[in-house]
Amino acid sequence: MNYLQQFKYSKDDPEEFGINLNSNKSENKSFDDSHLSNLLSRSIRVEKAIFPTVGGAIEKVFKRLDLENEFNFFVTADNFQANAACSLMPSASKPDIIITSKLIELLSEEELQFIIGHEVAHYFYQHSLYPNPETVSETNLKLNILNLNRSAEISADRVGFIASGSLEKSLRASLKLASGLSEKHLKFSFSTYLDQLREIESIGKSQSELW
């Protein structure tokens, strides 16, 4: 069994929707090369000689997850969105994780490890194959798919926590991403933030988000 499989959330189960992950896997060499060429021209590949902090964070993540690093990591200039994404899942022969400059500026090295682990999990669990709720009109099916997508995020967060090695750093990263603010403007009162999430339960779930 894959080491990461033990951390997968029990409700993160695409088979309930008849999704065969293996049947959707494909390799398109020309598309892969074109995408890589685009990344190389628009972003900078992460090498420790250029990005020592980011490169160090990546090494620690794969050591904690007991995985070989077969990913391409890139930093792209974006001063507005703090974001990371695993690109071309699962068609590319080698997955790419793209990290924005804003995210690197916002997070510490330890907090960044949570995000890297989260994105690695999305690739290994092949979450990109899950249905898009926006393409479904039937209400109950749409809510079920939203629930599946939320379960996928729980699985990825679990791996992110293992990758960071710190619950506090994982929560700090989550709060920074939710607010878009650095520690200059934040006091990390996690219990207060959890009270906000409990309020969601008390007033009822929206159709666009399930917890």
Nearest CA to 81 among 99, 56, 60?
Answer: 99
Task: Take residue 40 and report the two structure tokens written for it.
Answer: 């190389």
3-state helix, strand, coil in the chain (%, to 5): 60, 10, 35
Q: Could you give the CA distance from residue 142 to residue 135 in angstroms, rounded to a whole number?
A: 9
Residues 171-204 have pLDDT tens digits of: 999 999 999 999 999 998 888 988 887 887 777 6
Q: Could you give the CA distance from residue 64 to residue 54 in angstroms, rounded to a whole number?
A: 16
Q: What is the mean pLDDT of the chain?
A: 86
Beta-bridge partner residues of 73: 97
Residues 75-94 have pLDDT tens digits of: 999 999 999 998 764 455 67
